[in-house]
Amino acid sequence: MSVLRDPVGAVGTAAGTAPGTDPSRTPVRASLRGLPRAVASHPGIAAASVFLLLLVGWVLVPDLFAPTDPVRAVGPSLAPPSGRFWFGTDLNGRDVYSRVVHGARSSLLAGLVAVLISLVCGGLLGMIAGYAGGILDAVISRAVEVLVSIPGLLLSLAIISALGFGVDKVAIAVGISGIPGMVRIARAETLRIIGLPYMDAATTSGTRRPVAILTHVVPNASGAIAVVAGIDLGGAILAVASLSFLGFGAVPPQPEWGSQINEGRTYIASAWWWTLFPSLVAALTVLSVNRISRGIGTREVR
Amino acid sequence: MLRYVLRRLGQAVVVLWGAITLSFVIVQLTPGDPARLIVMGNGQGDAGAADASQLAQIRDEMGLDQPLVLQYLGYLRRVLTLDWGTAYSRQRQAVATVIGDSLGSTLELGLVSLVLLVLLGVAFALGSVLLPTAWARSTFQAVTVVGIAVPSFVMAILLLQIFSFRLGWFPAFGADGPGSIVLPSLTIALLGAGTLGQVFSRSIREVSAEGYVEVARARGLGNAQVVLSHVLRNASLPVYTIIGMLVGGVVSGAAIIETIFGRPGIGNLYVEAVTARDFPLIQALIVLTGGLYVLVTLVVDLSYPLIDPRVVSPAARGGRR
Amino acid sequence: MLTTLVMLVAVSVRPSAPQVVPVSPSSRITRRSLAGLAALTAVSAPLLAACSGSSAGGSGSADTSVLKVGFPEDSENYDPHQPPYTVSRAVARQIADTLVDQDPGSGKIVPWLAESWEVNADSSQFTFHLRDGVTFSDGTAFTATSVKKNFDRVVDLGALAYIGASHLRGYKGTEVVDEHTAKVSFDGPNAQFLQAATTQTLSILADATLELDPKEVAAGKVIGSGAYTLEDYTPGKTITLKRRDDYAWGSSVYDNKKAAAYESIAISFIPDPTTLAGAVSSGQVDFAFLLDTSTLPAVEGGQLEVSKNPTRGISFPLIPLVYRPLLEHEAVRRAINPATDRAEIAKRIYQGEVEPATGLLTASTPGSADLSEFLEHDPEKAEKILEDAGWSTVGEDGIRTNDAGDRLSLSIQYTSGNTVYEQLFQLLQTQWKKVGIEFELKPVTEAQASESGLYDAKYDLSTWTQGRADPDVLRVVYSSFYENQSFFYGHPIHEIDDALLALQSTTDADERAAASEKAQRLLLEGGYSFPLVDAISVSADSKSIRGIRLDAENKPAFADFAPAS
């Protein structure tokens, strides 16, 4: 399954990037072993890796990259980009660059948490469904379809209306709406693995089912699932930004990309930098995550 | 074949029932007292002034004090009879009326977007496969990826700013006239087309690697000819399967796009309903979009065998191997 | 008694922005907020607007018989007597007339449906001599009985017409002296009534409308004697007004007293402020009302005529909820005004488009007073007040605590959405932090906001603005008199209540100004309000219109609009 989230719109997509189409037909065959070679032979992947490393730096030590206080006025209002303020300043005279750097933490961590939630819940359910089969499989599969039937953003919004405001709540909502995609992949991978000869050997030799899942399915399926999760991360980051954009995200003055984009929006005619730089960074992030996931997650067919 | 159809119908009914149930559960989990929300809805008074007996009366009328199971059964019954009740906001109009007023514009937007999306997606895919040089192909691919990475709201803001506010080519708001649908549908289509284009081009490449295509190639057919005559049909199968997903994506996209473009529609309505905690409206919209998905996937799945007869065997569709 | 307040509540979460609640100089409060509610966010007219969907017409036609207008929000209630949202009042202005009107320049009360009037010595009886020949759009005649029935209805509507009811507090009745003479009596002085009679809340409607269920009237079934009739209303999208060809009794402030020039007015609701600005700058609408100040750079300097007018009424304030534990301390309240740098707010947040507040009323409001001595930025003074009162321990985070260990942290709840005032609150956060006060923002949805009321809030500060070109607005907002309208209801400050009552007893402008100043001084000395800026009301047009007439509340009067060529 390539589309974990709504391919359009708010909730971005992981799509297209995953290899096959229907997971049961073309399982993801992926491995991290291909990474170094991929980086070497693809400048795009190399650039994406460098950018992601930079982002990791922003998340871990934002002050190193942007020593300016992100929540305090440090210059005139709406100053255009300059040597002093690389991305200009916002209405409150805050440094947009610094807010983007410091905002990376909430934006990216929210995306990561969301993917982790999808991954853990979806992965487990999918493996159980694939391994157990029968009624359990039918129940889980239908439940997944129910979740899929409601457009992701709408589902996230409904969950947020129950949970309330904040980046953490948004992450949970996005994570839940990403569960069905993960269930499908995990289930398909599990089906593929239990079809392999050594699984037969394991079961006939008397290994108990839960043990078999842990010892055989999890390690074998996790590579592919991790790659898909990587791809999903891009979509999750966009989804978080979308919900923030709609006003459910970060509580001011906490910097966050989606809300920054929204804040600056009314001023786009007079202070384009306020909304465009955060947009650009968000887009590059998703692009990089996707490029790398594709690079390691797929075998080039040609 | 008949068995397949019946089984598929049965699944659709189960999923629909699930969506209905989910809509009930979500509302139960959301804080907020419907009686108070109704009283304060739309300036018809205010909750602070509402006295306890008035609230109690509303609760009684709506069955809010009944056990949950009874409330759920009542809800199911109302959904089945298509009785959606009245909205809390919007002057307490009937939910069906409120949705009916918005549905047309969203359907229009959705259909135009889908058509554009498929056209653009196919163009992206063919371009990234058929262009003569590797450099051109990868540039083309990069462009499609941009469609995936740029947040929809950013795309919408930029298109509006440039083509409407600055150049005045298209209306800035509203849903009247053909001009008004261009920018919103283009926004949605651009974003979905990247996804579709990638799925499609990958599928084309995979199919191209299969034996019979090699045979065609060996017979001396050119690349474009091979792709167009031998590959496309099979390669389009996966595209078909994600159409249901794309429909969901268009609805999600509409929630943001309609808000930005000031188009009255289902997406916009849903965002409003959530902020106002207009429970009947939220429920109806969840069931509606869920139903739409079920319907589209059902149609796609049922027509699938016409394209790829292998599908009828359950094993080919993700059954156990 | 009173009139208008407007409170604003903010509204939504739409991506767009601000939402709104506009306030106009006139008045309104949204009840949800006050009453039920909560978050008060306030609003200034210029700032906001909000609401639901919209739609529109095609762009740029050369048809001069239709005026295309963009309004921010659909207020969803078009009964002029009911809650006075600015947008509702702007529509009411076109379809219904009032007994008297107010000259926006001088603030004087001038004739409209009443040609003249007398007020008795203690301002408790008002006798109106009505114009002859006025008809409602259903053909029925306007008479003294119409006046009586309308005022009676406003009182009967009770909570539904809470603003109107406050204008008419103490209403004893209207006596129909003869067909063209009506005498309105109150059980005591009601000096503000004459100005109140200029507001749309006391519009005169036809009998047929008065007999309807108020919900039907709210849904747009309104018949008045105005220059336009309400032809069609599609909630969330459009309102169409149609000209009355036989109209001949325009307000005495209008240039055109006869039928309007434009045959119809097509109003579209465009809640997103950027889009509203874009609609007028791209020519899709000819006139945009209640533009957000943040969009000024986008509309100025191009092909548009932009009008920026100071609002009349309450200066945009934060108001302490005095029953909250921290705000029971006088020192905390008194420290906030000197900790606040209004000039920086005006310069940064409003890009210099508005003036810092000089008192509790905007400078252009009749009866305002220059009390800027209380509103100077003096952080040392603020710190000293706090130190002296025992808030002397400054923590590592820069926030003060007192000996009892209480942290000096105040919060405000507001309806989410990235709006100008959310930017403003963030600026206050940094300003107040410099003196050791923490300011916490709590964005919520509209529905969450409704969960607590003005008198049982879980936050400390509230904000609203309310417009009215009369100092009486102070009495409504800053007294303890009216539940859900007065901030200190249930927690009376007797000295201030007494000072505000003096506003009611005389119609003499100088005496009322003196009463207004005295009350404002008491309020500022006690730290009972933190006025920030005098908001402006912004509208823009495509220069295809001449004779743009804005009333005392800056609402357009389309009867006076005409094509430029």
CB neighbour burial string for C511-548, b if at least 16 within 10 angstroms, e if fewer: ebbbbbbbbbbbbbebbbbbbbbbbbbbbbbbebbeeb
- Give the type of residue at C42: A
For chain B, say whether A134 makes contact (Cβ under 8 Å).
no
> Contact at 8 Å (CB) between C6 and C47?
no
DSSP assigned state of C135 = B
The count of other CB atoms within 10 Å of the CB of residue B143 is 14
- Segment A87-101, tens digit of pLDDT: 999 999 999 999 999
Domain assignment present for residue C16? The answer is no
Query: SS3 helix, strand, coil % of chain C, rounded to 5?
Result: 30, 20, 50
Domain assignment present for residue C105? The answer is yes
Mutate to test the interface with C, among B275, B277, B282 (most CBs of C within 10 A): B275
Taking the C-alpha atoms of residue C227 and residue B314, their distance in angstroms, rounded to an integer, is 71
Strand partners, C100: C111
The confidence score (pLDDT) of residue B97 equals 87
Shortest Cα distance from B214 to chain A (angstroms)? Answer: 12
Domain assignment present for residue C9? The answer is no
Longest CA span, chain A: 74
DSSP assignment of B232-256 equals HHHHHHHHHHTHHHHHHHHHHHHHH
| Stated pTM of the model | 0.82
Mutate to test the interface with C, among B39, B99, B165 (most CBs of C within 10 A): B165
SS3 C419: coil
Q: Are residues C250 and C142 in the same domain?
A: yes
Contact B32 C451 (CB under 8 A): yes
Residue in A133, A239, A131, A227 with CA at minimum distance from that of residue A176: A239
Taking the C-alpha atoms of residue A171 and residue A110, their distance in angstroms, rounded to an integer, is 5
DSSP assignment of A164-190 equals -SSHHHHHHHHHHHHHHHHHHHHHHHH
Residue in C404, C307, C304, C412 with CA at minimum distance from that of residue C353: C307
Q: What CATH number is attached to the domain comprising C371?
A: 3.10.105.10
Backbone angles phi and psi of A111, in degrees to 5 = -60, -45
**Residue ranges of chain C with per-residue pLDDT less than 70:** 1-64, 417-418
The confidence score (pLDDT) of residue A79 equals 92
Contact B259 C282 (CB under 8 A): no
Q: Are residues C298 and C379 in the same domain?
A: no
Q: What are the residues whose beta carbons fall under 8 Å from the beta carbon of A257, sequence distance 6 or more?
A: A100, A103, A104, A107, A241, A244, A278, A281, A282
Backbone angles phi and psi of A51, in degrees to 5 = -65, -45
Q: Are residues C355 and C258 in the same domain?
A: no
Query: SS3 helix, strand, coil % of chain A, rounded to 5?
Result: 70, 0, 30
> Which chain C residues are Cβ-neighbours of B268 within 8 angstroms?
53
What structural domains and CATH numbers belong to chain B?
Answer: 105-274 (1.10.3720.10)
Taking the C-alpha atoms of residue B198 and residue C356, their distance in angstroms, rounded to an integer, is 55
The confidence score (pLDDT) of residue A258 equals 87
Q: What percentage of chain A reaches a pLDDT higher than 90?
A: 26
The confidence score (pLDDT) of residue A199 equals 65
Q: pLDDT 10s per residue in chain B (321 long)? A: 788 888 888 888 998 999 999 889 888 888 777 777 776 654 433 434 455 677 777 777 777 778 888 889 988 888 888 888 888 777 677 888 888 888 888 888 988 998 998 888 888 888 877 777 878 877 777 777 777 788 888 888 888 888 888 888 888 887 777 788 889 999 888 878 887 887 788 788 777 777 776 777 677 767 677 777 777 777 777 777 677 677 777 888 888 888 888 788 888 888 888 887 888 888 899 899 888 888 888 888 887 777 665 544 443 333 333
> Contact at 8 Å (CB) between A76 and A89?
yes
> Which chain C residues are Cβ-neighbours of B101 within 8 angstroms?
234-235
Vertex C232: Cα angle to C231 and C236 (nearest 5): 145
Could you tell me how many CB contacts below 8 A there are between chain A and chain B?
247
Backbone angles phi and psi of C462, in degrees to 5 = -135, 165
Q: Are residues C185 and C212 in the same domain?
A: yes
Contact B46 C484 (CB under 8 A): yes
> Which chain C residues are Cβ-neighbours of B168 within 8 angstroms?
59-60, 282-283
Q: What is the mean pLDDT of chain A?
A: 79
Residue of chain C nearest B170, judged by CA positions: C59
Q: Where are the domains of chain A?
A: 42-298
For chain C, say whether A35 makes contact (Cβ under 8 Å).
no
DSSP assigned state of A212 = H
Residue A28 pLDDT more than 70? Answer: no
Taking the C-alpha atoms of residue C78 and residue C269, their distance in angstroms, rounded to an integer, is 14
For C275, the closest of B32, B44, B262 (CB atoms) is B262
A42-298 in CATH: which number?
Answer: 1.10.3720.10
> Which chain C residues are Cβ-neighbours of A253 within 8 angstroms?
426, 429, 441
The confidence score (pLDDT) of residue C14 equals 27
> Which chain C residues are Cβ-neighbours of B256 within 8 angstroms?
15
- Give the type of residue at C405: G
Residue of chain B nearest A159, judged by CA positions: B26
For C292, the closest of A263, A266, A269 (CB atoms) is A266
Q: Are residues C293 and C429 in the same domain?
A: no
pLDDT band at A17 (very low <50, low <70, confident <90, very high): very low
For A92, the closest of C295, C427, C445 (CB atoms) is C427
> Contact at 8 Å (CB) between C320 and C411?
no
- HSE value, Cβ hemisphere, 13 Å, CA-based, for C537: 32
Contact A22 B318 (CB under 8 A): yes
Contact B148 A146 (CB under 8 A): no
Q: Is the peptide bond before A253 cis (omega within 30 degrees of 0)?
A: yes
C-contacting residues in A 232-271 (Cβ below 8 Å): 245-248, 251-253, 259, 262-263, 265-270
Question: CA torsion, points C348, C350, C354, C358, in degrees to nearest 10?
Answer: -60
Our count of domains for chain C comes to: 2
> Contact at 8 Å (CB) between C520 and C527?
no
- Give the type of residue at C553: E
Domain assignment present for residue C18? The answer is no
Tell me the residue range of the domain where C403 lies: 316-534
For chain C, say whether A73 makes contact (Cβ under 8 Å).
yes
The confidence score (pLDDT) of residue A297 equals 54
Q: What CATH number is attached to the domain comprising C209?
A: 3.40.190.10
For C273, the closest of A165, A263, A266 (CB atoms) is A266
SS3 C364: coil
Taking the C-alpha atoms of residue C503 and residue C256, their distance in angstroms, rounded to an integer, is 35
Shortest Cα distance from A155 to chain B (angstroms)? Answer: 8
Q: Are residues C528 and C546 in the same domain?
A: no
For A247, the closest of C297, C298, C416 (CB atoms) is C416
Domain assignment present for residue C6? The answer is no
Chains that touch B (3 or more CB pairs under 8 A): A, C
For chain B, say whether A282 makes contact (Cβ under 8 Å).
yes
Residue of chain B nearest A145, judged by CA positions: B15
Taking the C-alpha atoms of residue C108 and residue C124, their distance in angstroms, rounded to an integer, is 19
Residue of chain C nearest B92, judged by CA positions: C215
Domain assignment present for residue C38? The answer is no
Chain-centroid distance, C-alpha C162: 14
Chains that touch C (3 or more CB pairs under 8 A): A, B
Q: Are residues C277 and C370 in the same domain?
A: no
Domain assignment present for residue C44? The answer is no
The count of other CB atoms within 10 Å of the CB of residue B80 is 10
Q: Are residues C190 and C256 in the same domain?
A: yes
DSSP assignment of A33-84 equals GGHHHHHHH-HHHHHHHHHHHHHHHHHH-HHHH--S-TTS--S-TTPPP-SS
Q: Are residues C101 and C223 in the same domain?
A: yes
> What is the ipTM, given to two decimal places?
0.79
Structure tokens at B226: 């091979």
